Structure 1
């Protein structure tokens, strides 16, 4: 089964769209410049078989193994020559099939993955909010709010001042006193977004965090993203939901197999991407017409 066939359903539901247009925040100030970025992974071909303990090798065995053939190493090129610039006040959506390199691109921009070649220049430290953001499931929401907000650069006093605002925004109520492992995926996603957006970063990067949010929460998130952009910030949003991207972004990048295919107006880029996916998956298109 291909990546396209495994793709999350992104069909646009009219009731999920916000009629309020995304307000453009014009600015000539660059917040980020990506120049001919390449990112590669090294994958070792040999894998351990079985679940038993590893074999203890004696001195002679270790000497013999030194001359043994090493497992093959395969280089996977995840990002291939991506170049673009972002300005303060832009909300940039990143779309593409599973495995296209969307999340890898965000992590490279955030400095979490070293580039094989090319450069990334940022005006300030990006704040990356991902589905697997570093929040500890065994700790309560309260403790995670403190840890996450401190990691974003807030002081202890600022965290305490914004604590209730974060809880209210995430809509988790008394669950804030329970370990995060008791949360639903939607509650965890809302809390991650609320924590990350509490610092009003210059560059906010959101990786699928809104995927489990309902229309009400997406509207709140859009309003919060607009506040960040009005404060001369830049927002990146990786999502499979074209409705979310179109309603929240002023610009869209389409990444496919590690390459930048298209960069432009949300309606134009999302339309081209949808046509591409429909052409790759005619059965899904036929089911949609029949429904």
Structure 2
């Protein structure tokens, strides 16, 4: 690569960028990178049509991809095969290897689908995923330095979630009459079709979490829940379900796949983990997570005053 120009802000007040919840300054960098590399990625990774590191989820925690599924076109029931090969290539490729949750689907199932339509892409996946087959974990591996969900610096896990074939289910758009959860899970709200945000007690430790998951499993394991493939445990169900950006931010920045993914009627068979009921992602804030970077309204107001006419920063900001 030959660099011909480097651009910077004229007369910067501070020569660094503070990164918090998007959109912030680095959001524009990410958009530019997608624009520059968009046409190159399919040439670099055979079978890939497009990818999208989701800015609203903090970029590295969530990656969407669409690939070709051509291995066994003669089979009556299509399933992820080639896209699993592509997923391994993606997670072994430069900056793409920083992805923590990789969702990948087959181009042939919906040629009009695009990775930048976050909600439509997620619904496409949820309509087709088989949680007993389609979850592929990478445990005890390296993760992005800025990801604090793992057990140590740069240490955590990843999961590739692949979906191919016809729709398996119609997603619930509202909860059926009489749907309830046991205490202490009294507050819940539909975040997306097929996705339930469940407000849970504050996270304390893995032992207590195991008891909570067992309580949900006992309550739900014999119910018909095919239209509800995903349950997200969170600290604030209303906030999580308010919009798609809140949902992806909470769900994928606050969970470590190997530790925080559970399921109703879960099993381990020949070292493969899966579940026959809804997938559960524990997206509560954990004690080892970095505290959220929240703007101080009083400080912002003071800076705004400095930038007004007569202020020391007038004409600079």
The TM-score, its normalising length taken from structure 1, stands at: 0.26
The TM-score, its normalising length taken from structure 2, stands at: 0.25
> Higher helix fraction: Structure 1 or Structure 2?
1
